[in-house]
Structure 1
Amino acid sequence: MAYELYYWDGIQGRGEFVRLALEEAGARYVDVARGSRGTATMMDYIHGRHGFDMPFAPPFLKDGDLVISHVANILHYLGPKLGLLPEDEKSRWFAHGLQLTITDFVTEVHDTHHPLGSDDYYEDQKEAAKLRATNFLKYRLPKFMGYFNRVVAANPAGNGHAVGDRLTHVDLSLFQLAEGLAYAFPHATRNFERDYHHLGRLRDMVRNRPNIAAYLRSDRRLSFNESGIFRHYPELDDEPA
């Protein structure tokens, strides 16, 4: 039986962190909202028409009768099934903590272009967005990416992964962060490889994995755009990280 992934059509968004894990593992899955009546089906779950275990918002994953919401929860569930988590419990919980930290960072990325509210257009909050993005690039991006860079460097396995001695969903998510930041802030991240050497190597390693490389070439991988989390507005990309 194929996994069912529910997320908005037309954008990578938070659903992309789950897609990368499924694609890397060669798992069978259906991107439901991209099919006929897919969005309507997704909203039926959110409105509780399929039972009490209704998710608040996408992404969520359906595996048989089980419905799992939130990226970090989904990846914590999929990790052992897809071979994308270490075997020992201590490392698994550390990986989960890293994934939750990535979730925090993704929220901050989103808030650079929508600092006042998601329901208003970017054009209605450009001045506030400029202030938020300047602070983000000067303080928050280096804080988070510096931390992730140190995590990779400190891994006792010494093989360029974030946790353990083989690829995990955390590596895949760090790849997505690096790609998204390069799209949204090409000027500010122009020295990414110099500033975050270990993350740069991890990004390249993930990009060259056969299943990921094939996915990136396919039409299943949507392009970054100005409707997603990572958006490129040149006026927000003034200061180097």
Structure 2
Amino acid sequence: MAYELYYWDGIQGRGEFVRLALEEADAPYEDVARSPGGMQRMSRFLEGKEDQQMPFAPPFLKDGDLVISHVANILHHLGPRLDLAPDEEKGRTFVHGLQLTITDLVTEIHDTHHPLGVDDYYEDQKTEAKARSRAFLESRLPKFMGYFEKILSLNPAGPQHIYGDRLTYVDLSLFQLVEGLRYAFPKAMFSFESRIPLVRALHGTVKSRPNINRYLESDRRLPFNESGIFRHYPELDQPD
């Protein structure tokens, strides 16, 4: 039975972290909102008309009679099933924590362009966004990415993967972080990436994987745009 992934059509957003895991594993799945009538199907879940397991917001995944919400929770569920998680409980718990840290970082990235909230247009909070982006690039980005760089350096199996000697869903999510940050802040990332050589190398390793490479070249991979989490506003890239 194919997995059913529910997320907004037209943007990569948080759903992309789940798509990358499904694509790497060559798992059968339906990107529901991109299919005929898919938005209506998703709305029924969000209105509580399908199941008591009503998600608060996309993304959510339907696996048989399970409805699983939140990216980290979805990947924690999929990881062992797609062979993208450690075999032992210690490792599974650790990589789940890493994914939750990525969730925190994604929120901070989103807030660079919407620091006052999602109900206001970006154009109505540009001054605040510049200040937020400056603080993010100077302080928060180095703190988060420096943490992942350190974790890679401490891997007893070598820095080719974030944990152990094989790919996990966190490796895929770190790839997506680098891709998104390069789109949103190309100038800042050009100078910053010299400080995270292991993360940069991991990004290249993931990108070259056959299933990921095919996915990136396909029309299933939506382009970044200014409606998603990662948005490129030139005035926020190394703001004065």
State TM-score, norm by structure 1.
0.98
Aligned-pair distance for 1:103?
Answer: 0.2
Cα offsets for 1:213-239 (capped at 9, x unmatched): 000000000000000000000000025
Distance 1:88 1:167 in 2: 14
Say which SS state the counterpart of residue 220 (structure 2) adopts. coil
Alignment of 1:180-219 (within 5 A): 180-219=180-219
Say which SS state the counterpart of residue 191 (structure 1) adopts. helix
Cα offsets for 1:47-88 (capped at 9, x unmatched): 110121100000000011110000000000000000000111
Q: Which runs of 5+ in 2 are unaligned?
A: none
Say which SS state the counterpart of residue 187 (structure 1) adopts. helix
Aligned-pair distance for 1:191?
Answer: 2.8
Q: Which residue is 2:172 aligned to?
A: 172
Alignment of 1:9-158 (within 5 A): 9-158=9-158
Distance 2:171 2:216 in 1: 16
Distance 2:185 2:159 in 1: 28
> What is the percentage of aligned positions where both structures have the same residue?
68
Aligned-pair distance for 1:159?
Answer: 4.3
Aligned-pair distance for 1:120?
Answer: 1.1
**Stretches of 4+ aligned residues off by more than 6 angstroms:** none
- Aligned 8 A contact 2:162 2:170 in 1: yes
Aligned-pair distance for 1:193?
Answer: 3.8
Q: Which residue is 1:161 aligned to?
A: 161
Aligned-pair distance for 1:153?
Answer: 1.1
Distance 1:51 1:194 in 2: 48
Q: Which residue is 1:4 aligned to?
A: 4
Amino acid at match of 1:64: G
**Which deviates more from structure 2 when the two are superposed, residues 213-222 or residues 152-161?**
152-161
Matched residue count = 240
Q: Give RMSD over aligned pairs.
A: 1.0
Aligned-pair distance for 1:192?
Answer: 4.2
Q: Which runs of 5+ in 1 are unaligned?
A: none
State TM-score, norm by structure 2.
0.98
Q: Which residue is 1:229 aligned to?
A: 229
- Aligned 8 A contact 2:187 2:238 in 1: yes
Amino acid at match of 1:119: D
